[in-house]
Amino acid sequence: MSEAAKMPSVSDFEALLNETLPTEDEGFEGRVVKGTVVSVENDFAIVDIGLKAEGRVPLKEFAPAGKAAEINVGDTVEVYVDRVENALGEAILSRDKARREEAWTELEKAFEGDARVDGVIFGRVKGGFTVDLNGAVAFLPGSQVDIRPIRDVTPLMNIEQPFQILKMDRRRGNIVVSRRAVLEEDRAEQRAELMGKLEEGDAVEGVVKNITDYGAFVDLGGIDGLLHVTDISWRRVNHPSEVLSIGETVKVQVVRINPETQRISLGMKQLAADPWEGIEAKYPVGAKFTGTVTNITDYGAFVELESGVEGLVHVSEMSWVKKNVHPGKIVSTSQEVEVMVLEVDPAKRRISLGLKQCGENPWEAFEGKYPQGTEIEGEVKNITEFGLFIGLDGDVDGMVHLSDLDWERSGEEAIQDYKKGDTVKAVVLDVDTKKERISLGIKQLSGDPFANVSSKKKGEQVTCVVKAVNDNGIEVEVGDSGVTAFIRRSDLARDRADQRPERFAEGDKVDAMVTGMDKGSRKMNLSIKALEVAEEKAAVEQYGSADSGASLGDILGAALEKAKEDK
């Protein structure tokens, strides 16, 4: 055989190479394989994975977190084959990817078995955080960090803690984990265990975890209970933060347990004596006490008599004279005031108090100082359609009714003489301390002119002075009394022909007879005609009659003559 025949051909060389290298079906790319460290050069380890070419792996990929790499020649390691070069090149290897592949295999087992996995929160991303699960990177949504929203996650970072895998997709390399699910599961176990031990009425210690406007949440060791603001203290608490602070350890009593909702209601005041027990004996009606104004509303002010015992001073019981005034203009918060107990209702836990009762009643004081009939002086404070209001001593007002302004004129006419700010005199007519009313009169300053004529009897003769003449009759003043009366046209004379008002002139004196007296309406009725008839009858009886043959003229003549002689 020639030398040329002994030399291998190109096809023979290719066959030999294929025997040495793995086939495509047996390809290493994308797989984790075992290799041997054949040397360590600078920052790389040279790893032989059974190919004719070797791969270089950075030493830092063999180093545990925060430590130096411990790798020696001859060590067997698992690496991930990214790419296999040709016979003259190098293999592209990665220890990190190998570790990640190992982690994914373990994570899939945990996900299928619904088991927890340990990880470390190491970074922030949009919408949440990144978690290292022993080489695999997972996403932790912000809503899954804790049971309640937390502002600062820094204390939770870079420490190993358990997580629950919610979703994973190896093909896409996505893993979503939850820390909240782990906490909720632990909490549910603790809650069930604690709920089995707690009973209503138990006194336990807890830590204030959160404070709201309506109360505070207290951690009883894995389970939270609500301490309502009304159960913090027997005294008024406007906001829980006035008494409690987050992180404070408090002793509370289990007030109520709802097994269906697993809610626990707590109380602090229940551990102290109820100040309302025997309240009627401590605060009898009519007694006076000193208290502190704790709250002011539109309808009154609350006064604390002792810790846990408050009473209400209604706005109507705050001042004798300040009506329709906001309570805040009479008292202020934290002010010490003296009050009187008006009513006690233990069942409703209410005490009615009075502030004005601890001061002098100005109406009673006025009555004692200014009895009925006393003349007083004051300023016109207000003018209304029914009279005048006059300011008096003690900050009280008295009223002059329209009917008490003038004896002769109507009230509507007389009130026109007054204006606000005028100083006027009046007479005290009546003081009603219960209704807080003082009645005054201005016309009573002068005597009642009607009193001068009210004693006149029906049939009595009076002399009048004509004041005015009109078509229907004449207006006259009775004597010098100041009382006027009206004589109608039909009462001006006995004879119809003489019943003419124009017969009279202003200033004339006329005699008339009282025919009626109405003291209620202050009116008297007069008649000249009735007087003439009465005089005629008297003359006939004295001087004769028609039977004696004397004429009426003779009789009247004799009567006139007799009257002349008498004068």
Q: What is the pLDDT of residues 498-525, one digit of tens each?
A: 889 999 998 888 899 998 887 767 788 8
Tell me how far apart the alpha carbons of residues 409 and 386 are, in angstroms, rounded to a whole number: 15
**How many CA within 13 A on the CB side of residue 507?**
0
Beta-carbon contacts of 235 under 8 Å, excluding residues fewer than 6 positions away, are 304, 307, 308, 309, 310
Per-residue pLDDT tens digits for 527-556: 999 988 988 888 887 765 545 444 455 555
Torsion sign (Cα): 196, 201, 204, 209: positive
510 compared with 41, residue with greater pLDDT: 510
> Under a CB-based contact definition with an 8 Å cutoff, are residues 163 and 118 in contact?
yes
| pLDDT for res 452 | 67
Phi-psi region of 473 (alpha: psi -120 to 50; beta: other; left: phi over 0): left
pLDDT at 33 over 80: no
Q: What is the pLDDT of residues 107-157, one digit of tens each?
A: 888 888 888 899 999 999 999 999 988 778 899 999 999 988 888 888 898
Q: List C-alpha distances in Å: 363 to 41, 212, 366, 393, 426.
A: 112, 50, 5, 10, 17
> Residues near 241 by Cβ (< 8 Å), separated by ≥ 6?
211
Q: What is the pLDDT of residues 64-85, one digit of tens each?
A: 654 566 777 787 777 777 676 6
User: Tell me, what amino acid is at 335?
Assistant: Q
pLDDT in tens, 323-342: 888 999 999 999 999 999 99
Q: Can you give the pLDDT at residue 23? A: 44
Question: For residues 418 and 205, what is the distance between their CA atoms, to the nearest angstrom?
Answer: 76
Q: What residues contact residue 553 under an 8 Å CB cut-off, 6+ apart? A: none
pLDDT score for 455: 72
Q: Rounded CA gap, 100 and 30, in Å?
A: 12
Cα four-point dihedral sign 438, 441, 442, 445: negative
Confidence tier at 26 by pLDDT (50, 70, 90): very low
* Residue 398 CB neighbours (<10 A): 25
* pLDDT at residue 92, rounded to an integer: 72
Helix (H) or strand (E) holding 101: helix 95-112
Sequence-distant (≥ 6) Cβ neighbours of residue 215 within 8 angstroms: 226, 227, 228, 229, 231, 232, 240
Rg of the Cα atoms in the chain: 58
Instruction: Yes or no: say if 472 and 504 are a contact pair by the CB < 8 Å rule.
Output: no
Query: Across the chain, which distance is largest between two alpha carbons, in Å?
Result: 217
Which tens digits make up the pLDDT trace of 366-378? 888 999 889 999 9
Calculate the CA dihedral of residues 288, 293, 295, 300 and round it to 10 degrees: 50
Q: What pLDDT, on a 0 to 100 scale, did the predictor assign at position 100?
A: 73
Looking at residue 5, what is its pLDDT?
Answer: 47
Strand pairing category for 224-228 and 263-267: parallel
Q: Mean pLDDT check: name the lowest of 13-17, 278-282, 558-562.
A: 13-17
- Give the domains, in start order, of the chain with CATH numbers: 21-99 (2.40.50.140), 114-183 (2.40.50.140), 198-271 (2.40.50.140), 279-358 (2.40.50.140), 362-445 (2.40.50.140), 454-547 (2.40.50.140)
In the 8-state DSSP scheme, what is residue 89?
S
pLDDT at position 564 is: 57
Give the per-residue pLDDT at 69: 67
Tokens found for residue 492: 């001006």
Q: Which pLDDT score, from 0 to 100, does residue 419 have?
A: 92
As a whole number of angstroms, the distance between CA 517 and CA 532 comes to 20
Q: Average pLDDT of 470-493?
A: 86
SS3 (DSSP) at 272: coil
pLDDT category at 434 given cuts 50, 70, 90 is confident
